[in-house]
Structure 1
């Protein structure tokens, strides 16, 4: 494929460097699956990954634009969550 010279010089990493956001949180380990399902059902505002099941630690991957709305919704969920 032939791309214009301008596109060849774009640094994709720098374009998206300020958009990704990773939030670490701690919840009761019995609630991890519920958090995953609730966040998944919000129209892909974020993705939850378990980082330490024994301690109930999760990582929420989102964007800076989506985080404000996602945080408000998570705080209204029937889950006690501690952002760390």
Structure 2
């Protein structure tokens, strides 16, 4: 049995994976998802708490810098938490 909590929970992340939590206006959540989707597989957006506007953004350590720059240029306020 593994002592790694991520493996125990069934989540197998590579050391190159990046998971970032963020918060934005609920009305903008779908737009963020569509814009990130359109960036050519730089990352994936998952809603974690719709009521609070919280999302999880998954990427790789190689793609995250480009994705972060793109997100920061999007036409809405987003707070990385």
Fold in common (TM above 0.5): yes
How many positions carry a matched residue from both structures?
Answer: 70
Any residues of structure 2 matched to 1:34-45 within 5 Å, and which?
34-45=31-42
Secondary structure, in 3 states, of the residue corresponding to 1:58? strand
Any residues of structure 2 matched to 1:49-68 within 5 Å, and which?
49-68=46-65
Could you say which structure has the higher helix fraction?
Answer: 1
- Give the gaps of 5 or more residues in structure 2: 1-6, 8-12
Task: Tell me the TM-score normalized by structure 1.
Answer: 0.80
CA RMSD in angstroms comes to 1.3
Task: Tell me the TM-score normalized by structure 2.
Answer: 0.83
Note if 1:22 corresponds to 2:16: no
